[in-house]
C-alpha cells in the first residue's frame, strides 16, 4: 500500500508544479533586447561600492553599473592612449607632459537623473586615495598628484612624473562615483553603507535586487547614452564553489560559467548540448614561491632558499612542461616568468632554466648537499634538505601539483612535505613570512608595471613580494621598462628583466591557465575581454528566434 | 517536574549558551588566519583591522562584544558590512524550511518504517529494511547529496541542482507558483537530510517498539483478546513514542550540523552556509553570531524534548522537593 502511494504522491506533486509552471510562463517579451542571462558565480560580493570591492564577482557586476572614464580595448594595450575606448569621457587631450584633460560626455546621467560631472571625478579620486576608505586600488594611483574640475564637464589629472602608462593609471583603476549620493556618508562607514548594497550607477544596467546568498539582478537601462544593451536582464546566481557553479551551467540553470578551470569541467561542459565553449587568454599564473628569509625570523636568511644555486637546482629538477600536460592538457601553458598570458610581454622565447636533473644534482653536490647518512635525503651539517610546501586545501589543482613536485624533488634527494591548510591561514602565513615554500596564484591586470613590481621588487616587501626576492639589477631593468615609451624597447627591457629573474629562480613558474568559458548557445556576439570577461557584456544579444522561457518572463 | 526544575534548566541553558559563545569567540580569534584576502596589501589590511577593532587586546574585544550583545547588537560582518543580526535573520527562514522539511520526512518515514519492522520482526521485510536503513544511515551525508544531485538534478533534471528558488520566475515568493517552486527546490536537500535521519529514526523506533512489546501491559492487552492493530497503536506505539520524543530533541544538532554541508552542496542560502563562508573568511562576528543562534536552538530543542517527555510520561510528573531529574541522552 505504502509502496504504491509514495510514487503516486510524487507524480501528483510534479504534475501540480508543472501545472503551476505552465500557468506562470505566459506570453511576455518576444522581440530584440529580451534576453535574460544567468551567470553561475562562485562567490558573493561583499559590497558593490567600487573602491571597496576587489573581488572578481563584484568587479563583473560593477562593470555594468559604474563606468570608467575610458577602458582598455580588446587588444589589452596599456601603453599610450590610442587603444582605449571612450566611456564617460567623450574625448581627452594632453595639456603638457604631466596634465591630462578629460571632457565628459554631456549625455551621461546617474540613474536617479542627475548629470555626471567633473565634480564626481574629483570626488572619486579623493575617495580612492583616502586611507580611511582602505581601497585596495589606492597604491595603483600613487603617481597621480591631483584631480580637479575645470568646469562641470572637464576634469584635469596632474601626474607626478611622466611614464608610458599614465593614461592607463588615470582610467583603469577607478570607477566614477556619484558624489551627491556618497558625500553625506562618513568615509569610515562606506563599507557598511546601504549604497554598497543598493547602488545607483551610470552604466548600461540598473540595480534591481540583491537576495543575500542567492542572487543579484540588474536590468538594462533602455536610455543608456552609449546605446541600449542587447540583453534585458542579468542575474548573478551565487554558488559556494566552482563545482556547483559548473553543475548549474550543465543543468541549464545558468547561461554563463566564465571559467571552467579544470579539464574535467571542460569535458563535462562540452557534453552539455546547450553550451558553447569559448577559450580566451587567462590572467592568472601559479608558481612555487621560495621564501628567501627564515620563517621564524625574517631578518635572517633562509637556511636553504637564501642560496641562489640551490634554488636554481630545484627549478631545474622540475619538468614543468610534462606537469602541465599531465595535469591540465591544453588548458595551460608553462609561463616564461611571473606573468599570465594576458600580458603583452608574454614571450615563450624568454630564456628560462632548463629541465636538467643531472645538472641539478651536480649543483647540490657542489653546494655540499649530499646524502651523508644514506636515508635518501641530502643533508649538510646535519640539516636535511627538506622543506614544506604550503597551499590552500580548497585548490584541487594546487594539491595535484604539490604531489607532482614532491615526487620530482624526491628524485634528486630532496624531501618536500605537503602542507595543505585553509585559505585564510595561507594568507596570514605568507603575509608574515612564516613559510618555506608556497604554491601561490597571481592575477594580472593588463599592465606588467604594477603587478610585477609589487610582487618581485623591494617595493613589494610587506606587500605581495612574499618570498622577499631582491635583485637590484632586476629592479633597474624594471624601472627602465616601465618608463620606456616605445613598445619594442619596453618589450626588450621586460625580456631582459624576466631573464634576470628566471636566472635567480625566486620561484618555479608552474602554469598559466587559459580561460575557458561555457556560454549558452542561444547567446550571440559573445565577446570575452581577457582581463574582465564581463566588460563588454552590454554588446551580447539573443536573437528573437532563439529566446527561451526565461528570456520572455515579464514581472 | 515543576517550576524549580524548569528554572534550573533555564539557568543551565543560559550558562551553556554563554560558555559556547565564549569558547567560539576565543577560538576563532586565536585561530590562525586573517580577515583580509591574500591580495590585499598589508597596510590596507592593517587599516581594516583597526576599523574592525582587531588591534585591541582580546579581553577588551570580548568585553566590547558582550556589552554590545547585551544591547542586542551582534556587530557587523567584516565581509559585507551588514549587521550580523540581519544577515542571520535573512538565513533562518531558509534553514527552518530545510530543517522542517527534513524533520517531517525523517519522522514520518522513520516512524512508519520502525513500526512496520517491529510488527514484522525477524521476517523478510524486517531483515531487508533493517539492512537498507543501516546502509543509508552509514552513508556520509555529503556523498548521498552528491549522488542525488547527479542522478535527479544533472542527469534526469527532475529537480534543480541548487538554490532556493528560480531567480527569474521567483526571486521572491509572490504567488502560489513560487511557493511550489520553493518546495521543488527544497526536495533534494531535504531528501538528503531526511533520508539519513529517517534511517536512524526507523532503527530507533523499531528497538523501542520491541522493548515495549515485552512489557506486561502489552501481553495483558493481547490476552484480553484486543485486535492486533489496537494493541500496536494504543498500547505499544503510545509507550514507544517516549523515546521518539527524546530523539526529537537530538534531531536539532544533527540537522544544524548536517545543514552546513548540505547547504553548501546545494547552494542553499541558509545559516549553515553563512557560518561556513564566515569561517573561511575569518568573519569573526558572523561566526560567533551563528554559533550563538545554533546553541540557542540546540539547547531549546533539548529543553522542549525534556518537557514533552515529562508531559507524556505521568511517572515523571513528580513535584519538588522529591523532584526527579529527567534524563535524556
Give the integer Cα–Cα distance in Å for B55 and B131: 56
Rounded Cα distance between B309 and B213, Å, is 20
User: How many Å lie between the alpha carbon of A135 and the closest alpha carbon of chain B?
Assistant: 7
Interchain pair B40, A36: CB under 8 A: no
Q: Which H/E stretch holds residue A74?
A: none
Mean pLDDT confidence for B44-65: 85
Q: Between B80, B169, B274, which is nearest A46 by CB?
A: B80
Question: Distance between CA atoms of A52 and A463, rounded to whole angstroms?
Answer: 18
Closest among B160, B132, B172 to B266, alpha carbons compared: B160
**Number of neighbouring beta carbons within 10 Å of residue A222:** 11
In tens, the pLDDT along B104-123 reads 999 899 999 998 998 888 89
CA B100/CA A467 separation, integer angstroms = 51
Listed in sequence order, the DSSP H helices in A129-197 are 166-172, 179-182
> Which residues 21-60 on chain B approach chain A with CB closer than 8 angstroms?
32-45, 47-48, 51
CA distances from A15 to A10, A19, A22, A549, B180 (A): 9, 6, 10, 19, 11
Measured in residues, chain B has a length of: 329
- For residue A286, give every residue at least 6 positions away whose Cβ sits within 8 Å of its Cβ, in sequence order, or none: A397, A398, A401, A439, A440, A441, A442, A510, A511, A512, A513
Residue whose C-alpha cell reads 564566515 in the numeric block: B278
ipTM for this prediction: 0.79
Q: Cell digits for A284?
A: 592568472
With contact defined as beta carbons under 8 Å apart, do A167 and A84 qualify? yes
Q: Per residue of chain A (555 residues), what is the pLDDT tens digit? A: 344 444 555 556 656 655 555 555 555 888 888 899 999 999 899 899 999 887 889 999 999 999 999 999 988 889 889 999 999 999 999 999 999 999 999 999 999 999 999 999 999 999 999 998 989 899 889 999 999 999 999 999 999 999 999 999 999 999 999 999 999 999 988 988 899 999 999 999 999 999 999 999 999 999 999 999 999 999 999 998 899 999 999 999 999 999 999 999 999 999 999 999 999 999 999 999 999 999 988 889 999 999 999 999 999 999 999 999 999 999 999 999 999 999 989 999 999 999 999 999 999 999 999 999 999 999 999 999 999 999 999 888 999 999 999 999 999 999 999 999 988 889 889 988 999 999 999 888 899 887 888 899 998 887 889 999 999 999 999 999 998 888 889 999 999 999 999 999 999 999 999 999 999 999 999 999 999 999 999 999 999 999 998 898 877
C-alpha cell at A287: 608558481
Nearest CA in chain A to B166: A253
Contacts of B282 in chain A (CB under 8 A): 424
Give all strands (DSSP E) within A444-536, no chain letters.
507-513, 515-520
CB A63: neighbour CB atoms within 10 A? 24
As to burial, measured by CB atoms within 10 angstroms (0-12 exposed, 13-18 middle, 19+ buried), residue A371 is: middle
Q: How many CA atoms lie within 13 A of A304 on its CB side?
A: 25
- Does residue B146 sit at the A interface (CB-CB below 8 Å)? no
Confidence of residue B209 (pLDDT cuts 50, 70, 90): confident
Cβ separation B42–A239 shorter than 8 A: no
Cross-strand partners of A478: none
Cα separation, A453 vs A464, in Å, equals 9
Residues B258-278, mean pLDDT to the nearest whole number: 89
Element (H, E) at B148: helix B141-148
Residues from chain B that touch A14, judged by Cβ atoms under 8 A, are 158
The SS3 of residue A100 is strand
Task: Closest CB to B154: pick one of A16, A247, A428.
Answer: A247
Compute the nearest-CA separation of B22 from chain A (Å). 22
Instruction: Say yes or no to pLDDT of B323 above 70.
Output: no
DSSP B153: I
C-alpha cell at A394: 580548497
CB burial of residue B322 (10 Å; 0-12, 13-18, 19+) = exposed
- Residue A102: which of A80, A123, A86 has the closest Cα? A86
Residue A175, all three cell numbers: 570607477
Q: Which residue has the higher pLDDT, A191 or B2?
A: A191
User: Looking at the DSSP assignment, which residues form a beta bridge with residue B22?
Assistant: none
For A462, name the nearest residue in chain B, comparing CA atoms only: B42
- Neighbouring C-beta atoms of residue A555, cutoff 10 Å: 12
Closest to B51 (Cβ–Cβ): which among A138, A188, A237?
A188
Q: Mark which residues 219-278 of A lie under 8 Å from B by CB.
A: 233, 235, 237-241, 244, 247-248, 250-253
A2 touching B (Cβ < 8 Å): yes
Residues 216-255 of B with CB under 8 A from A: none
**B324 near A CB under 8 A:** no
Interface contact A20-B180, CB threshold 8 A: yes
What pLDDT does A160 receive? 95
Relative to beta strand A256-257, strand A515-520 is antiparallel
Sort A91 into a burial class: Cβ within 10 Å, 0-12 / 13-18 / 19+.
exposed
Confidence of residue B290 (pLDDT cuts 50, 70, 90): very high
Question: Which 105-164 residues of chain A touch chain B by CB within 8 A?
Answer: 131-132, 134-136, 138-139
A147 Cα to chain B: minimum distance (Å): 22
- A157 bridge partner residues: A100, A147
pLDDT for position A15 = 60
Residues of A in contact with B79 (CB under 8 A): 46
Helices (H), A197-319: 242-250, 263-271, 308-316
Percent of chain B with pLDDT over 70: 93
- The residues, any chain, with a CB within 8 Å of residue B40's CB and separated by 6 or more, are A54, A136, B48
b/e burial code for range A458-478 (CB count within 10 A of at least 16 → b): ebbbebbbbbbbbbeebbebb
Q: What is the pLDDT of residue B141?
A: 87
More confident residue, A138 or B251: A138
What's residue A16's pLDDT? 60
Torsion (CA) A30, A32, A33, A35 in degrees, nearest 10: 50
Q: What is the pLDDT of residue B226?
A: 86
Q: Is the pLDDT of residue B328 over 70?
A: no
From A514, A527, A529, A534, select the one nearest A341 (Cα to Cα): A514
172-191 in B: which are within 8 Å (CB) of A? 172, 175-177, 180-181, 183-184
pLDDT for position B121? 86
> At residue B34, does pLDDT exceed 80?
no
Separation between Cα atoms, residue B150 and residue B157, nearest integer Å: 9
CB A18 within 8 A of CB B157: no
Q: In A, residues 172-201, which contact B (CB 8 Å cutoff)?
A: 188, 191-193, 196-197
Rounded-to-integer distance, Cα B152 and Cα B190, Å: 13
User: Cβ of A428 and B32 within 8 Å?
Assistant: yes
Local confidence band at B39 (pLDDT 50, 70, 90 cut-offs): low
- Looking at CA atoms only, how far is residue A413 from chain B in angstroms? 32
Contacts of B27 in chain A (CB under 8 A): none
Q: Which of A134, A233, A440 sits opposite B44 (nearest CB)?
A: A134
- The alpha carbon dihedral of B111, B115, B116, B117 has a sign of positive
What mean pLDDT do residues B224-252 have? 81
Question: What was the pLDDT predicted at B320?
Answer: 45
Residue A88 vs residue B311, higher pLDDT: A88
- Residue B189 and residue B98 in contact, taking contact as beta carbons nearer than 8 Å: yes
* Amino acid A1: pLDDT: 37
Interchain proximity B281–A251, CB inside 8 Å? no
Place of cell 541558509: B270
The answer, yes or no, to whether the previous bond of A511 is cis (omega within 30 of 0) is: no
The mean pLDDT of chain B is 85
Parallel/antiparallel/unpaired status of strands A35-41 and A386-392 = unpaired
Amino acid at each position: 500500500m505504502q509502496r504504491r502511494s509514495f510514487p503516486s504522491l510524487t507524480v501528483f506533486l510534479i504534475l501540480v508544479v508543472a501545472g503551476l509552471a505552465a500557468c506562470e510562463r505566459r506570453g511576455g517579451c518576444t522581440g530584440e533586447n529580451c534576453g535574460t542571462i544567468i551567470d553561475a558565480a562562485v562567490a558573493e560580493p561583499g559590497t558593490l561600492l567600487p573602491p571597496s570591492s576587489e573581488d572578481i564577482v563584484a568587479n563583473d557586476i560593477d562593470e555594468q553599473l559604474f563606468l570608467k572614464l575610458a577602458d582598455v580595448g580588446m587588444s589589452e594595450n596599456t601603453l599610450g592612449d590610442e587603444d582605449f575606448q571612450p566611456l564617460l569621457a567623450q574625448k581627452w587631450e594632453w595639456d603638457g607632459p604631466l596634465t591630462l584633460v578629460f571632457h565628459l560626455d554631456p549625455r551621461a546621467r546617474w540613474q536617479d537623473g542627475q548629470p555626471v560631472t567633473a565634480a564626481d571625478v574629483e570626488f572619486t579620486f579623493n575617495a580612492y586615495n583616502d586611507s580611511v576608505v582602505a581601497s585596495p586600488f589606492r597604491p595603483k594611483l600613487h603617481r597621480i598628484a591631483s584631480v580637479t574640475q575645470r568646469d562641470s564637464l572637464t576634469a584635469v589629472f596632474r601626474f607626478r612624473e611622466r611614464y608610458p602608462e599614465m593614461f592607463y593609471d588615470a582610467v583603469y583603476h577607478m570607477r566614477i562615483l556619484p558624489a551627491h549620493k556618497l558625500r553625506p556618508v562618513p568615509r569610515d562607514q562606506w563599507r557598511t553603507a546601504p549604497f554598497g548594497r543598493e547602488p545607483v550607477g551610470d552604466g548600461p544596467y540598473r540595480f534591481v535586487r540583491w537576495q543575500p546568498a542567492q542572487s543579484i539582478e540588474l536590468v538594462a537601462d533602455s536610455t543608456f547614452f552609449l546605446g541600449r544593451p542587447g540583453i534585458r536582464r542579468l542575474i548573478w546566481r551565487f554558488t559556494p564553489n566552482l563545482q556547483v557553479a559548473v553543475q548549474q551551467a550543465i543543468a541549464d540553470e545558468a547561461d554563463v560559467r566564465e571559467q571552467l578551470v579544470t579539464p574535467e569541467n571542460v569535458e563535462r561542459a562540452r557534453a552539455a548540448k546547450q553550451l558553447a565553449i569559448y577559450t580566451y587568454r587567462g590572467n592568472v599564473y601559479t608558481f612555487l614561491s621560495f621564501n628567501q628569509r627564515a620563517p621564524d625570523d625574517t631578518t635572517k636568511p633562509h637556511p636553504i632558499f637564501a642560496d641562489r644555486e640551490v634554488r636554481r637546482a630545484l627549478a631545474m629538477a622540475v619538468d614543468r612542461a610534462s606537469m602541465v600536460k599531465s595535469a591540465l592538457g591544453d588548458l595551460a601553458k608553462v609561463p616564461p616568468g611571473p606573468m599570465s598570458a594576458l600580458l603583452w610581454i608574454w614571450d615563450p622565447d624568454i630564456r628560462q632554466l632548463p629541465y636538467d636533473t643531472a645538472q641539478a644534482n651536480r649543483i647540490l653536490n657542489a653546494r655540499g648537499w649530499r646524502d651523508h647518512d644514506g636515508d635518501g635525503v641530502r643533508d649538510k651539517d646535519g640539516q636535511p634538505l627538506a622543506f614544506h610546501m604550503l597551499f590552500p586545501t580548497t585548490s584541487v589543482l594546487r594539491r595535484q601539483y604539490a604531489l607532482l613536485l614532491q615526487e620530482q624533488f624526491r628524485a634528486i634527494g630532496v624531501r618536500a612535505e605537503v602542507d595543505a591548510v585553509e585559505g585564510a591561514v595561507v594568507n596570514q602565513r605568507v603575509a608574515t613570512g612564516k613559510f618555506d615554500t608556497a604554491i601561490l596564484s597571481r592575477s594580472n591586470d593588463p599592465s606588467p608595471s604594477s603587478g610585477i613590481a609589487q610582487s618581485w621588487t623591494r617595493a613589494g616587501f610587506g606587500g605581495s613580494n612574499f618570498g622577499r626576492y631582491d635583485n637590484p639589477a632586476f629592479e633597474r631593468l624594471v624601472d627602465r621598462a616601465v618608463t620606456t615609451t616605445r613598445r619594442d624597447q619596453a618589450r626588450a627591457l621586460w625580456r631582459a628583466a624576466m631573464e634576470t629573474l628566471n636566472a635567480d629562480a625566486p620561484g618555479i613558474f608552474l602554469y598559466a591557465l587559459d580561460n575557458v568559458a561555457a556560454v549558452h548557445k542561444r547567446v550571440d556576439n559573445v565577446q570575452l575581454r581577457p582581463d574582465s570577461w564581463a566588460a563588454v557584456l552590454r554588446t551580447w544579444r539573443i536573437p528573437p528566434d532563439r529566446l527561451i522561457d526565461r528570456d520572455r518572463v515579464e514581472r | 517536574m515543576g517550576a524549580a526544575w524548569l528554572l534550573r534548566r533555564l539557568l543551565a541553558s543560559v550558562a551553556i549558551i554563554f560558555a559556547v559563545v565564549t569558547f567560539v569567540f576565543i577560538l576563532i580569534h586565536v585561530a590562525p588566519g586573517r580577515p583580509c584576502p591574500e591580495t590585499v596589501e598589508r597596510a590596507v589590511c592593517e587599516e581594516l583591522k583597526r576599523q574592525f577593532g582587531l588591534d585591541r587586546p582580546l579581553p577588551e574585544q570580548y568585553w566590547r562584544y558582550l556589552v554590545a550583545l547585551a544591547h542586542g547588537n551582534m556587530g557587523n560582518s567584516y565581509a559585507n558590512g551588514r549587521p550580523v543580526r540581519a544577515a542571520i535573520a535573512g538565513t533562518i527562514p531558509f534553514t527552518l524550511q530545510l530543517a522542517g522539511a527534513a524533520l517531517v520526512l525523517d519522522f514520518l518515514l522513520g516512524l512508519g518504517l520502525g513500526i512496520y519492522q517491529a510488527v514484522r520482526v525477524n521476517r523478510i521485510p524486517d531483515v531487508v529494511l533493517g539492512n537498507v536503513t543501516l546502509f543509508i544511515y552509514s552513508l556520509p551525508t555529503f556523498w548521498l547529496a552528491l549522488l542525488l544531485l547527479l542522478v535527479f538534478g544533472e542527469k534526469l533534471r527532475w529537480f534543480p541542482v541548487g538554490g532556493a528558488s528560480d531567480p527569474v520566475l521567483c526571486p521572491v515568493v509572490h504567488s502560489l507558483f513560487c511557493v511550489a517552486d520553493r518546495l521543488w527546490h527544497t526536495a533534494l536537500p531535504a531528501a538528503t537530510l531526511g533520508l539519513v535521519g529517517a534511517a536512524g529514526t526507523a532503527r530507533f523506533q523499531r528497538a523501542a517498539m520491541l522493548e515495549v512489546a515485552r512489557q506486561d501491559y502489552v501481553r495483558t492487552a493481547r490476552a484480553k483478546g484486543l485486535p492486533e492493530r489496537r494493541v500496536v497503536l494504543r498500547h505499544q506505539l503510545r509507550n514507544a513514542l517516549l523515546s521518539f520524543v527524546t530523539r526529537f530533541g537530538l534531531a536539532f544538532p544533527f540537522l544544524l550540523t548536517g545543514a552546513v554541508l548540505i547547504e553548501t552542496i546545494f547552494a542553499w542560502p541558509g545559516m549553515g552556509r553563512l557560518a561556513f563562508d564566515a569561517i573561511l573568511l575569518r568573519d569573526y562576528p558572523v561566526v560567533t553570531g551563528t554559533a550563538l543562534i545554533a546553541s540557542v536552538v540546540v539547547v531549546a530543542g533539548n529543553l522542549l524534548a525534556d518537557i514533552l517527555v515529562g508531559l507524556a510520561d505521568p511517572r515523571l510528573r513528580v513535584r519538588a522537593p522529591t523532584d526527579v531529574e529527567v534524563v535524556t541522552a
